[in-house]
Structure 1
């Protein structure tokens, strides 16, 4: 029998911060230990571990039995929200602690979008605990090799940390803005921007303190030249792109989905890739097809 419901929200302490997570685990016979999946959610207005709920339900509905560990990153969801800038390496440190102290066995990381740098840092910090990587709609390759200007990052962060940023976040969490942004930048089909999606974002965005994680992302703290680090990733990797994948950032706008896939296949030492229907939030807009290709990959590890 498979449990389709998560346990109650659980908490642990990392660097004196209270951090939240949930686990979904199937009932299985003793000794049947399949590699668990660690889900890393995207950063954005209202986003948290709730992003993965549709994926989790579909994962078990399709007969898979791997445990799913679904944490809230610092600054998101039910985790503590300090008024500080967060970098991918900070979240990777959090995930390293989570794997070592909560999961306590090697995992397959499934990471959404531009949080891919968090997974990169995890492969550097605890390579023996990472059995594989699944990249859901990772950024345009141009962005993965082009660092953002440190001066520009500082200017954007300081601007967003001002009262102007407070006002911007209050505007950005309006339902009308969330719906418009989702249609323009995230989903392939307008009808997929449904009530469940918008209500989830609204609940997450009600916490004004969540703006600090969002502003860290908008400031471009995740933008580095990762080419050397990616070339050193030995873990089997699956990159999944939407056949209508697009980029929000200007440098990646001219990169077609085919070219994006080709670039990733060219630069990883141990990778396979595919395209499925959808745009930029594949675990939500195309959960069945996404689960199918992830399941096939996981079974090879």
Structure 2
């Protein structure tokens, strides 16, 4: 697993709905901290947790940025409790709303990876005064984020996954070969970037079989619906960052080019702006230095 650097606090915990939720603060508020805090939202997947952001946190400090960075584990992931429930974006948004109100207690810029954008959308609805801006790292294809799916279908998939068959699949998906093949095929631009650090982090993150419930909730599609009106209602400045070889796992988004994805988002967001950079779908990890440099002007402007 990625090692903790000296600018990161030890794991801390808070309670939400009687669940124990974990977080850490990179560059804790002290005499050297400056600028608006960042609140990171990690992706959901086999073995994924707040550890996804460690490279980003280290690189941000290395490049001289001193914004405090709050890096929480969503419920069901990492060191947070893992109840056997079907998670929705609204659930995770409520968790982060409580985190903002009780721990951070000041406006932040949300930095959200991939298909967790719906969590950020729901959080902006709930707590607009504590969200100063958003950075979207390779958000979903426009055809996916604006397509309504049936609740019965989502529940059917959840029930199929939440079974002995699903448990067997999760045990298979935790194997290094599956993690390597999936990462190479769907996430990274270069197979060389699927390194031992990435694979070890995922393997360790998936050791607890209870982590499967968050993954199954994501695979069931509880995050998928038509968010077009909600996106058009985001009044905060929003930076959309897309990889030059960005792709979509879902069939609906496969025909979309990175330029088209960027254009669709910018046409809908009231205060949207966008950039492209080398990499594919996990830019904060694969193209860390470029990602930190690319979003820095936006963060400074919003600050």
TM-score, normalised to structure 1's length?
0.97
Which residue of structure 2 lines up, in the alignment, with residue 55 of structure 1? 56
- Secondary structure, counterpart of 2:301 in structure 1: coil
Look up the match of 2:8: 6
2:29, 2:68 within 8 Å by CA — same for their partners in 1? no
Q: Deviations over 1:56-111 (max 9, x none)?
A: 00000000010000000000000000000000000000000001101111100000
Measured after TM superposition, the shift of residue 49 of structure 1 is: 0.1
Give the deviation of 1:149 after TM superposition: 1.9
CA distance in 1, matches of 2:279, 2:116: 19
1:17 counterpart = 2:51: no
1:245-289 deviations in Å (ceiling 9; x for gaps): 000011111111111011011110001001100000000000011
Over residues 94-129 of structure 1, what are the superposed CA-to-partner deviations in whole Å (9 max), with x where a residue is unaligned?
000001101111100000000000100111101000
Question: Aligned pair count?
Answer: 298
Secondary structure of the structure 2 residue equivalent to 1:184: helix
- Residue 209 (str. 1) matches residue 210 (str. 2): yes
**Are 2:295 and 1:263 aligned?**
no
TM-score (norm 2): 0.96
- Distance (Å, rounded) in 2 between the aligned partners of 1:157 and 1:247: 21
Q: Shift of the alpha carbon at 1:160?
A: 0.3
> CA offsets, 1:6-34, max 9 Å, x none?
1110011000000000001267548x742
- Please, which runs of 5 or more residues in structure 2 have no aligned partner? none
Match of 1:232 in 2: 233
1:275-290 equivalent positions in 2, closer than 5 A: 275-290=276-291
Write the mapping of 1:164-179 to structure 2, written as runs, cut at 5 A.
164-179=165-180
Quote the Cα distance in structure 1 between the aligned partners of 2:57 and 2:118.
23
Give the CA RMSD over aligned residues.
1.2
1:104-160 CA-to-partner distances (Å, cap 9, x unmatched) read 111000000000001001111010000000000100001111022212101100000
Conservation of the 8 A alpha-carbon contact between 2:59 and 2:292 = yes
Secondary structure class of the residue paired with 2:275: strand
CA distance in 1, matches of 2:60, 2:120: 21
The whole-number CA distance in structure 1 between the counterparts of 2:29 and 2:166 is 46
Runs (4+) off by over 4 Å = none
